[in-house]
């Protein structure tokens, strides 16, 4: 009977190391799975965010559109016309629309040149054409182009986005 008890004891002794190997292998597999999951989480949360940030840095950002600034030109422009033997007058109140206050201040230094050019432009127009809505729109576009040209020449930038007629009277 002693021999029979020794056999299961010997088998049990041999079985223990095999169980320990399985336990060690399972623990190693568990550590690898946990490590891979944590590395994936770190990559997802940190690595995934840094990649678009690098792409955003590579692409030029769209310029932020600044709020509009309006600079009224005072006094109003008054121009006389001789149309069909009669004297006629045009009075125009103008505001300049810009986005950069510093450049607009630079342009203010050159207001005498700007006003002179606008008076010359207004006085060269045909009175009959100005009575039509298309004529007024065309005159506004010409005034905008003239102001941008002067600003480019004097300040080095167009500065003014648009010339606005805030009051337009033909008589």
Compare 95 and 10 and report the one with higher pLDDT.
95
pLDDT at position 45: 72
pLDDT at position 34: 80
* The domain defined by 69-170 carries CATH number 3.30.479: yes
Q: Is the pLDDT of residue 17 over 60?
A: no
Confidence bin at 18 (pLDDT 50/70/90): low
Reported pTM: 0.61
Intra-chain end-to-end CA distance of the chain, in Å: 135
pLDDT at position 10: 53
How do residues 91-139 score in pLDDT, each as one tens digit? 999 999 999 999 999 999 999 999 999 999 999 999 989 999 999 999 9
Confidence bin at 12 (pLDDT 50/70/90): low
Strand duo 86-98 + 69-83: pairing:
antiparallel
| Residue 89 and residue 78 in contact, taking contact as beta carbons nearer than 8 Å | yes
- Secondary structure (H, E, C), 99-128: CCHHHHHHHHCCHHHHHHHHHHHHHCCCHH
Domain spans, the chain: 1-61, 69-170
How do residues 39-53 score in pLDDT, each as one tens digit? 777 777 776 554 455
CA distance 36 to 109: 68
């Amino acid at each position: 009977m002693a021999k029979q008890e020794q056999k299961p004891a010997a088998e049990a002794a041999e079985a223990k190391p095999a169980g320990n190997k399985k336990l060690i292998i399972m623990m190693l597999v568990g550590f690898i799975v946990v490590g891979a999951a944590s590395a994936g989480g770190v990559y997802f949360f940190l690595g995934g965010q840094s990649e678009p940030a690098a792409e955003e840095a590579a692409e030029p950002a769209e310029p932020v559109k600044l709020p509009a600034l309006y600079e009224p030109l005072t006094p109003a422009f008054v121009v006389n016309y001789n149309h069909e033997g009669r004297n006629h007058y045009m009075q125009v109140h103008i505001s300049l629309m810009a986005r950069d206050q510093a450049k607009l201040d630079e342009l203010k230094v050159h207001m005498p040149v700007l006003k002179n050019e606008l008076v010359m432009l207004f006085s060269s127009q045909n009175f009959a054409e100005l009575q039509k809505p298309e004529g007024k729109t065309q005159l506004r576009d010409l005034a905008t182009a003239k102001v941008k040209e002067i600003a480019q020449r004097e300040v080095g930038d167009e500065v003014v986005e648009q010339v606005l007629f805030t009051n337009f009277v033909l008589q």
